[in-house]
Structure 1
Amino acid sequence: MSGSLRSHRSAMLAKLETTYATDSVPVAGTDAVVLQEAEITQMDADAVERPRLTPHFGARPIALTALKIRATAQVDLAGSGAAGTAPAYAPLLRGCGMAQTITPATRADYTPISAAEESLSLYWFLDGQRQRALGARGSWGLEIAANQFPRLTFEFLGLYTPPTEVALPATTLTAWREPQVANTTNTPVVTLDGLTVALESLRYRHNNDLVFRDLVNRRYVNIQERRPVIEVAIEAPTLTAKNFWALAEAGTTFAAVARHGAAAGSIAELTAPRCQISQIARRAADGVEMLDMTLVVLPNTGNDEVTLSVR
């Protein structure tokens, strides 16, 4: 009897491609990903039914088309270990339509682009099987919750390749930094319109629109559009301190900033300079009034609506 596959024995490798959908051959020594969680759909396809008239009831034969792979992953949000060095998760961000700018000894910045997006070769290992997704592009998000490890979230769409039997690799993970729990010490800055807020949770979604195109002689994943949002839950300030209701009614734009990490080499900061409140609601938690808000993240001149800085 063949052995079963154990889902906890898994690994992911990711490497940027030089030529779209040409395997960049990620290796366990330099391209491994430290995962909080992950899930992969090994075959996502459309079923095309063969037209056929018959004198009886019954299903028609099908053919599977538009073969693709969907994968989600969550990784620790942390610094790179040294200011001016790209973090280990940089290739994942770049595969989501984010440009990388390195300022030596100072910072690594990730900002949106609207053309010439990079792509990834993703390898997923599951206890003796390997699944490859080539030409993968994705979308990303960021989650910070009080007294939890913050994380980056990713969703990828790539070209399907059949799984093969390959031994689980011994990965090298030294480039990945240890995360810090989100709290007052480790998350020193969370501001909305300049007001320091008591944060319960913040959730950023880049919301890339991923489109799979399957044509004769051409198959690819395209990023068509993006509509970023921030969902934030805070203790309600007094109206004198900040009247978010008035900001929502007037359609006023303001900056949102969340910085995790206090020392150089451990800092990751999300900045959205122009946010607008699209939803606002009250609720109670432990007898304290809370505000739940959804913010639309707007560009200014273009490709500048959000920056993730690691320093």
Structure 2
Amino acid sequence: MKTRKKLLLVAPEVTYGAGADIADAVLIIASELDSSPYEGDTVTRDRLRQTFGAVAQANAAPYTTVTATVPAAGSGTPGVAPNYGLLLRACSMSEIIEEGVSVTYQPVTDDAESVCVWFVEDGQLQKVPGVRGTVEWSFTAKQYPTMSFTFTGFYSRPEALTEAINKTPENIAEEFVVNKQNTPGRSVHGYEGCLQSLSLNIGNTVNYRALVGCESVQVTDRESTGSVEIEAPNIATKNYFEAIESHQAITLEPVSLTHGTVAGNTITVAAPKVQLATLSRSDSDGIVHYSMDMRLNPDQGDDEFTIKYT
């Protein structure tokens, strides 16, 4: 099999864990795609005997993981969700559509959705029902923006692909490079400096559970984090040392980024209460940069950040 002949398809599940029909699936554009087709907790069949040697192990709770790097872009039409919106919803995010205007995603605690995924690899495919996961966004200067997904779902044995996948991606535009022209807005605790990178991780805790009569993938916790690298400002302009201090008081301020200038393909990341921490220095073309970790705190709840497409 050839390494690059891979596809990722996804469809919503009406009933959790029941899977879906591949005819209803959408094709997701991915720049990186991989799977661990047969994971699980093993149990050893211990035996006492007269000689040394291995004993058999059984996989007591088989499951599958799929990882994918997906370009971050809009659908191309304001108020229409990008096709990978299904993946975001499977990462415990709500989808709010304002017709003709915008689509907004933000974390949720309850009523997590699920999807069915098909991992296709050069003549064979593995159907993975009951999928939920976590995601991280990356916006780095002079690179394309990406989302890195890690999904967990039920195991089923890979099979030969009997029919060609005749699908084309829909509701997805081409991504733009992160740079001055394409990324017009940024603010880190009120300072609009020269930004090198911004990453954001929803930080879902994803657990596969296998009990007698029950099988599920559950998102049981969330701790959203991120990081930012910015050209070091003059301390009189912006004092990031004061911002990272937490021994007397904790500073929570907004962080935001707007990427894109075209209707239907503009992404705005906004986090209202971000704590900065662990400042470190680096050199970039002879210029000092500050790298800081971010902890994204909720305001009223389930609102640590939003990803808005306009």
TM range (shorter): over 0.9
What's the offset of the Cα at 1:168?
A: 4.3
SS in 2 for 1:204: strand
Q: Distance between the aligned counterparts of 1:39 and 1:274, measured in 2?
A: 34
Q: Does 1:94 align with 2:89?
A: yes
Q: How far apart, CA to CA, are the structure 2 residues paired with 1:168 and 1:293?
A: 47
Counterpart residue number, 2:243: 247
Q: 1:176 aligns with which of 172, 195, 201?
A: 172
Q: Whole-Å Cα distance in 2 between the matches of residues 104 and 227 of structure 1?
A: 31
Q: Tell me by how many angstroms 1:20 deviates.
A: 0.5
Q: Whole-Å Cα distance in 2 between the matches of residues 24 and 72 of structure 1?
A: 20
In the alignment, which residue of structure 1 is the partner of 2:143?
148
Matched, 1:61 2:56: yes
For residues 175 and 266 of structure 1, the distance between their equivalents in structure 2, rounded to whole angstroms, comes to 11
Tell me the number of residue pairs that the alignment of Structure 1 and Structure 2 aligns. Answer: 306
SS of 2:242's equivalent? helix
Moved more, 146-155 or 90-99: 146-155
Q: Residue in 1 aligned with 2:103?
A: 108
Conservation of the 8 A alpha-carbon contact between 1:94 and 1:100? yes
What is the CA deviation profile of residues 206-235 of structure 1, one whole-angstrom value per residue up to 9, with x for unaligned ones?
110001101011111000111111111110
Deviation of 1:175 after TM superposition, in Å, equals: 2.2
Deviation at 1:191, TM superposition (A): 0.7
Partners of 1:79 and 1:261 within 8 A in 2? no
Q: TM-score, normalised by structure 2?
A: 0.96
The amino acid that maps onto 2:129 is L
Residue correspondence of structure 1 range 1-311 to structure 2 within 5 A? 5-27=1-23, 31-166=26-161, 167-249=163-245, 250-311=249-310
| Unaligned stretches of 5+ residues in structure 2 | none
Q: TM-score, normalised by structure 1?
A: 0.96
8 A contact 1:11–1:168 mirrored in 2: no
SS in 2 for 1:27: helix
Query: Which stretches of structure 1, 4 residues or longer, exceed 3 Å deviation after superposition?
Result: none
CA deviation after TM superposition for structure 1 residue 242, in Å: 1.0
Structure 1 residue 272: Cα displacement: 0.6
Q: Distance in 2 between matches of 1:155 and 1:25?
A: 22
- Per-residue Cα deviation, 1:42-68 (whole angstroms, up to 9, x for no partner): 111222101211121111122112100
1:101-144 CA-to-partner distances (Å, cap 9, x unmatched) read 11111110101110110001000110111111110000011101
Name the CA distance, whole Å, in 2 between partners of 1:168 and 1:145.
36
Q: Secondary structure at the match of 1:245?
A: helix
* 2-structure distance, mates of 1:195, 1:10: 42
- What is the Cα deviation at residue 186 of structure 1? 0.5
Checking the alignment, whether the CA contact within 8 Å between 2:83 and 2:170 is kept in structure 1 is: no
Aligned-pair CA distance for 1:185: 1.0
**RMSD (CA atoms):** 1.2
Gap regions ≥5 residues in structure 1: none
CA distance in 1, matches of 2:263, 2:19: 35
